[in-house]
C-alpha cells in the first residue's frame, strides 16, 4: 500500500452535498482489478474512479488520461457523473489538457471528448443503441415499479455503454411517487430510468423560451425557473437502489427523447429530488446532431488515500 492523491467531488450541482458524490483516486497505477473493486465497495458511493496513463492506442487518439469506473458491485465502461467529476479533479490537481478547453478521456467505451462551456465542462454523449421492449418484458418491470401501462408514454432499451430501460411517463408526480420493489428489479437484472416532462403552470406546455441561455447560464437553479424533465434512476442490479444524478442515463434519454420529438434540442433535467438532492443536468444538441451533457462540479474532500 502507498499514499495516492485523492479527491471527492460533488457532480451536477453548484452547491456541495446536493449532487452526486464521486471518489477519485488520481493515481491508480499498479492497482489490481480486485483492489479497485474493493475500494469502490468500501466507499459505498455510486461510482469511484481510478486515473491512469492512457494506453498507447488512447494516447495516439489524443487521450489526456485513462479512467476506470467502478460501482460498489461492478466496473462500468462509461458513466456520466464520473466523467465530469474525474475531469474536474484531474484539472484541479494541476494537470493541463493537450488542447485548450478540450479534454479527451479514455475509458471502456473508447475515447470521450469533453469541452469547456464557460464555467462548466460538457461531455459528448457516446453513440446510442436503442430498441423497443415487448409488452411481455415490460410488464414485470412496471409491476416492480408500481406503474400501470397507461401511465407510460414511451419505453426503450438504451445502451451507450451502460444499459438502461428508459421510461417516459405521463406526469412528474407519478415519477416522484414511485416506491419500487428494488429486490424485484435486481432479480430482473434491469436498471430503469424513469422521466416525465415538467408542465408549466400556465398552459401545460414545456417552457420553450430562451432554453439555450437558461441551460448554460452561470446558475441553473433560479427561483421560479423549473427544469424541463424530472428523472429518477433505479440501479439495484449494480448495488445502487437509486442513483442521485446519472449522466449516462440522462445522455441516453436525451438522445432518444430528442430524436423522437419528445424533448427539444436543448433542455435541463432535475434528478435526486426524492433523495433530498438538487441535481441539474444540462442537455444540448449541436448542429451536427451531437448531444452534449453539462453540469457543475464542486470539490468536497482533498488529500491522500492509502491503497
**Same domain, yes or no: 138 and 284:** yes
pTM of the shown model: 0.90
What angle (nearest 5°) sits at the alpha carbon of residue 47, between those of residues 41 and 50?
90
Contacts of 5 (CB under 8 A, 6+ apart): 25, 26, 27, 93, 303, 304
Residue 4 is predicted with a pLDDT of 98
How many whole angstroms from its chain centre is CA 178?
A: 20
**Same domain, yes or no: 158 and 280:** yes
Let me know: does 96 contact 10? Beta carbons within 8 Å: no
Greatest distance between any 2 Cα atoms in the chain: 60
**Same domain, yes or no: 139 and 110:** no
Residue 46 is predicted with a pLDDT of 94
- State the Cα–Cα distance between residues 246 and 143, nearest whole angstrom: 23
Range of the domain at 231: 129-289
**Same domain, yes or no: 113 and 212:** no
Pairing of strands 129-131, 152-159: antiparallel
Residue-by-residue pLDDT tens, the chain, 307 positions: 999 999 999 999 999 999 999 999 999 999 999 999 999 999 999 999 999 999 999 999 999 999 999 999 999 999 999 999 999 999 999 999 999 999 999 999 999 999 998 889 999 999 999 999 999 999 999 999 999 999 999 999 999 999 999 999 999 999 999 999 999 999 999 999 999 999 843 333 333 334 343 344 333 333 444 799 999 999 999 989 999 999 999 999 999 999 999 999 999 999 999 999 999 999 999 999 999 999 999 999 999 999 9
Residue 211 is predicted with a pLDDT of 38
**Same domain, yes or no: 70 and 154:** no
Residue 226 is predicted with a pLDDT of 76
**Same domain, yes or no: 156 and 104:** no
**Same domain, yes or no: 119 and 221:** no
Residue 292 is predicted with a pLDDT of 98
Count structural domains, the chain: 2
Residue 203 is predicted with a pLDDT of 33
**Same domain, yes or no: 251 and 109:** no
**Same domain, yes or no: 117 and 22:** yes
List the end-to-end C-alpha distance of the chain, in Å, as a whole number: 5
Distances (CA, A) of 303 to 3, 89, 93, 96, 306: 9, 12, 11, 20, 10
Residue 240 is predicted with a pLDDT of 92
What angle (nearest 5°) sits at the alpha carbon of residue 235, between those of residues 233 and 240?
105
**Same domain, yes or no: 134 and 225:** yes
**Same domain, yes or no: 200 and 267:** yes
**Same domain, yes or no: 135 and 245:** yes
Q: How is residue 140 written as a grid cell?
A: 414485470
State the CATH number of the domain containing residue 74. Answer: 3.10.310.10
Amino acid at each position: 500500500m502507498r499514499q495516492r492523491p485523492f479527491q471527492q467531488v460533488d457532480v451536477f450541482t453548484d452547491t456541495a452535498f446536493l449532487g452526486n458524490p464521486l471518489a477519485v483516486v488520481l493515481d491508480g497505477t499498479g492497482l489490481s482489478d480486485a483492489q479497485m473493486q474493493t475500494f469502490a465497495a468500501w466507499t459505498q458511493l455510486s461510482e469511484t474512479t481510478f486515473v491512469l496513463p492512457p494506453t498507447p492506442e488512447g494516447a495516439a487518439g489524443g487521450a489526456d488520461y485513462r479512467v476506470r469506473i467502478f460501482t460498489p458491485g461492478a466496473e462500468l465502461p462509461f458513466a456520466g457523473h464520473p466523467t465530469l467529476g474525474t475531469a474536474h479533479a484531474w484539472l484541479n490537481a494541476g494537470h493541463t489538457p493537450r488542447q485548450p478547453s478540450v479534454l479527451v478521456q479514455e475509458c471502456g467505451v473508447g475515447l470521450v471528448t469533453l469541452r469547456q462551456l464557460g464555467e462548466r465542462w460538457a461531455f459528448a454523449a457516446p453513440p446510442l443503441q436503442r430498441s423497443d421492449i415487448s409488452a411481455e418484458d415490460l410488464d414485470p418491470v412496471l409491476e416492480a415499479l408500481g406503474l400501470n401501462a397507461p401511465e407510460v408514454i414511451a419505453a426503450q432499451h438504451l445502451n451507450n455503454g451502460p444499459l438502461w430501460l428508459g421510461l417516459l411517463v405521463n406526469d412528474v408526480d407519478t415519477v416522484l411517487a414511485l416506491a419500487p420493489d428494488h429486490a424485484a428489479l435486481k432479480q430482473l437484472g434491469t436498471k430503469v430510468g424513469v422521466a416525465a416532462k415538467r408542465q408549466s403552470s400556465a398552459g401545460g406546455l414545456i417552457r420553450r423560451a430562451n432554453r439555450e441561455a437558461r441551460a448554460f447560464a452561470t446558475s441553473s437553479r433560479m427561483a421560479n425557473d423549473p427544469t424541463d424533465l424530472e428523472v429518477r434512476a433505479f440501479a439495484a442490479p449494480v448495488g445502487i437502489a437509486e442513483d442521485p444524478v446519472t449522466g449516462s442515463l440522462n445522455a441516453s434519454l436525451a438522445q432518444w427523447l430528442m430524436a423522437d420529438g419528445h424533448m427539444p434540442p436543448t433542455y435541463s433535467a432535475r434528478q435526486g429530488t426524492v433523495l433530498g438532492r438538487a441535481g441539474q443536468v444540462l442537455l444540448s444538441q449541436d448542429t451536427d446532431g451531437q448531444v452534449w451533457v453539462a453540469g457543475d462540479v464542486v470539490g468536497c474532500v482533498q488529500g491522500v488515500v492509502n491503497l
